[in-house]
Amino acid sequence: MTTRKVTANIAITLDGRYNGPGGPGDLGSIVRYAATDVSRDQMTRMCENATTAVLGRGNAQGFLGYWPVVATDDNADPRDRGYAKWLVDTEKVVFSTTLTDAPWERARVVNAPTAEAIAELQASGTGDILINTSPSVLKPLLAADLVDRLYLIICPEIAGGGDRLFEDGLPGSQWTLTFQQAGEQGEVAAVYDRVRG
């Protein structure tokens, strides 16, 4: 039996939020750091070993309107183009209770408990499984202690409200810092690996 590594990427503020007080679309504390060298290098790093992208419905539909165009844009930053090509070409699993058809090529819709579906993915195939900027998928996996690596972009702002990634009630866990890089605006790329056993 193979056990694939479950990885996840997300950007959070200093107060641990992935959006601001205005809700899911309030990304003012995060979006200005998304196109920095540090963020783009992290984007390249996170998909190097990943062969499956896992997305929530909202991100799957939003990404569809943006990344396929970047994949064919010769004027785009090469790191953006590389990530876009990876995302278009890789296997995608979209978690949704409302979609019936996959919104992308090489994608399938899953309407099942998150931890169970990820455990099934882990047991077959090769390469890392990347939970791709999708807190609706990541949070239940953190609660089930199924995440092996976190690719974080830490944005040097306090949002003061919004949704938190790490909520009370998560199981205690230990992580080791395996990579860090700071940017000119104060943003930090950090890679943490889960310490087990």
We report the CATH number of the domain holding residue 187 as: 3.40.430.10
Q: At 59, which helix (H) or strand (E)?
A: helix 57-64
Alpha-carbon distance of 93 to 121, in angstroms, equals 10
pTM of the model: 0.95
Relative orientation angle of helices 135-143 and 114-122, to the nearest 10 degrees: 80
* 8 A C-beta contact, residue 7 and residue 147: yes
Tell me the two tokens of residue 178: 């395996």
Residue 122 lies in a domain: yes
Residue 1 inside a domain? The answer is no
Q: Can you give the pLDDT of all 197 residues of the chain as single tens digits?
A: 458 999 999 999 999 999 999 999 999 999 999 999 999 999 999 999 999 999 999 989 889 889 999 999 999 999 999 999 999 999 999 999 999 888 888 999 999 999 999 999 999 889 999 999 999 999 999 999 999 999 999 999 999 999 999 999 999 999 999 999 999 999 999 999 999 98
Domain range for 121? 6-195
Domain count, the chain: 1
CB 161 within 8 A of CB 21: yes
Q: What's residue 2's pLDDT? A: 59
Distances (CA, A) of 99 to 34, 57, 67: 28, 8, 20
What DSSP designation does 184 have?
T
d(CA 29, CA 70): 24
Q: Is there a contact between 51 and 126 (Cβ–Cβ < 8 Å)?
A: yes
- The dihedral sign for the CA sequence 67, 35, 54, 25: negative
